[in-house]
Amino acid sequence: MRNTLGSFKNLFSNFKGDLLGGLTAGVIALPLALAFGVASGVGAAAGLYGAIFVGLFASIFGGTKPQISGPTGPITVVVAAIVASNPGNLKLIFATILLAGLFQILLGISKVGNLIRYVPYPVISGFMSGIGVIIIILQINPLLGLDVQGTPLKTIMSFGEILTSFNQQSLILGALTLLIVFFTPSKIRLLIPPPLIALVGVTLISVLFAFDIKTIGEIPIGFPNIQFPLISFNDLIKIVPLAITVAILGAVDSLLTSLVSDSLTKTTHKSNKELVGQGIGNTVSALFGGIAGAGATMRTVVNIKTGGKTPLSGVIHSIFLMTILLGAAPLASSIPMAVLAGILIKVGFDIIDYKFIKVISHAPRYDLAVMLLVFTLTVFDDLIFAVGAGIVLSCLLFASKISKKIKITVNGCQQTSEILSSEHIEELSKYKIRMVDIQGEFFFGSASRVLTRVDDLLGTKCLIINCELIPDMDISAVFALEDIIVRMRDKGIKVYLVLASVNVAKKLLRLGVLKPIGRDNIFYDKHKAVEKAHDLISGEVQIHEKEEVTV
């Protein structure tokens, strides 16, 4: 009981700041929610429902206290792609969003949230910039009073037709919107968000001058009814990959915003709890006919800078939007599509990663290659494939880079300052004893280099493989080591293995790697291995001398 009262008291510990932050975030969210709803292809009302329910439940159950959630650019682009491939099938669309929410809850419960932070920055940069460009290109048609083409490539291909058939009145309203959202003085921006100024001001101009343009249409008045989107098993199988796409993208989008929130508040968010909160929000949103959402960076930053510190600010943001829905929904029917397009074009420009672009000429070529690949695939192909391809390419390039750093010293084969004290013994034995020192990361990327260096050791009677400085090995390295041992044994070369610890030896024994070498030939001190090798060679020399005397 005391814990409950304490939590309740803490919730209202910053009431004034949370009230101001939540209301300000709500004012900014209103035009964006409507715009994202229209851009998704489901409708303005769905965007508003998404902002209300995702924002409410993600705040209550999430792990980033001042985060404001709702429809975002990246999520909207994915939902729009789902709508385009399933036109008119609202049950399938909302079932996908519901399933995505459940997947996010599973991601949080299974502690995957901690892993998402390891997505390489060039992948994120290319993806975000690609999303920004997609939004900008797709809003060209609505800005000019035309229907959306569906994909950036189709819009670009029909550009000639666009120039001859656009609506001049839509262009005027769109141009006014762009001027407002891009060039509103900073002093005014602090008082009223430019998207709201454009939404109200340009809509009034359109109504007063009776412009003949496309509007967003009627938004239902009142609270939406809950509907469970029942679909067939075949449809369920069909939407699983789409739902995973939405879930992962929403998770990455939200946790990136959480990191921004941490940097502003000097606190630490709870990644897995945040994913559970986002999942609950998206699940409930789908049940009420809302589009998917995620942590929204701009709204979160505004909330924090205006005083929001606790989840109460996100709740207030949703209550504000719900009040607008219940009381002022009929007024939204006159909002021109060109106005929403202008607002979204500004969103697109804001999403582009200028931080990376500024240093693009100095960026490592590996990172630049990953960024450009992800960017190109995002804009012209498939979003999830773009991220997957970027991560795979990043891993391969990283493996290549790390493998080049491994040091392989075959004493007696090359003269370097790295030669260890065993060189003297090698010289005395006329290089019948050789030691291979492996330093650095011994994994699948470097295993082939080790094999290449030890594959030709002519005249060697005893090979010591020194792995003292390798604390662990992946399965590729383990099998490469086994391959070395077997090859040397087949050539009649005795192999001694020096390992970092007993734990590494146990691991190799369990995997069967040490069977060809035998336990007696495993050491944890290279000097003891050298002594045994020397004794072996000395013994062979004595036997050979006895044979010569007998003959």
Task: Give the residue, 353 or 547, on which the prediction is more confident.
Answer: 353
Taking residues 81-91, what's their average pLDDT? 87
**For residues 15 and 316, is the Cβ–Cβ distance under 8 A?**
no
Determine what percent of the chain falls in helix, strand and coil, rounding each to the nearest 5.
70, 5, 25
pLDDT tens digits along 163-212: 778 889 999 999 999 999 899 998 888 788 888 888 889 999 999 998 98
Residue 317 is predicted with a pLDDT of 95
Residue 550 is predicted with a pLDDT of 38
Least confident of 68-82, 274-288, 331-345: 331-345
CA angle 321, 322, 326 (to 5 degrees): 120
3-state secondary structure 80-103: HHHHHHCCCCHHHHHHHHHHHHHH
Q: Looking at the predicted structure, is the pLDDT value of residue 493 above 90? A: no
pLDDT tens digits along 378-401: 888 877 678 778 888 887 777 676
DSSP state string for 36-56: HHHHHTS-HHHHHHHHHHHHH
CA angle 303, 224, 275 (to 5 degrees): 45
Taking residues 366-386, what's their average pLDDT? 84
Q: Looking at the predicted structure, is the pLDDT value of residue 6 above 50? A: no
Residue 17 is predicted with a pLDDT of 85
User: b or e along 399-413 (b: 16 or more beta carbons within 10 Å of the residue's beta carbon)?
Assistant: beeebeebebbbbbe
Average pLDDT value for the chain: 81
Rg, C-alpha atoms of the chain = 32
Query: Percent of the chain, pLDDT > 90?
Result: 22
Taking residues 536-541, what's their average pLDDT? 63
pLDDT tens digits along 298-319: 789 888 988 889 999 999 999 9
Q: How many residues does the chain have?
A: 551
Task: Give the residue, 509 or 53, on which the prediction is more confident.
Answer: 53
Q: Looking at the predicted structure, is the pLDDT value of residue 9 above 80? A: no
Alpha helices (H) along 381-456:
383-403, 423-428, 444-454
Question: Among candidates 399, 405, 458, 461, which has minimal Cα distance to 428?
Answer: 461
Residue 56, CB-side half-sphere exposure with 13 Å CA sphere: 15
Pairing of strands 522-523, 494-498: parallel
Distances (CA, A) of 19 to 29, 39, 68, 311: 15, 30, 13, 11
User: Cβ-count burial of 183 within 10 angstroms (0-12 exposed, 13-18 middle, 19+ buried)?
Assistant: exposed
Homologous superfamily in CATH for domain 407-550: STAS domain (3.30.750.24)
Residue 91 — pLDDT band, cuts 50, 70, 90?
very high
* Residue extent(s) of CATH 3.30.750.24 domains in the chain: 407-550
DSSP 409: E
Residue 540 is predicted with a pLDDT of 54
Residue 356 — pLDDT band, cuts 50, 70, 90?
confident
What is the distance of C-alpha 202 from the center of its chain? Answer: 37
Residue 526 is predicted with a pLDDT of 82
**Which of 116-120, 123-127, 541-545 is predicted most confidently?**
123-127
Residue 430 is predicted with a pLDDT of 58
Helix (H) or strand (E) holding 324: helix 311-328
Taking residues 72-83, what's their average pLDDT? 88
Query: Percent of the chain, pLDDT > 70?
Result: 83
Q: Could you tell me which residues are beta bridge partners of residue 256?
A: none
Residue 414 is predicted with a pLDDT of 34
Residue 397 is predicted with a pLDDT of 77
Residue 4 is predicted with a pLDDT of 39
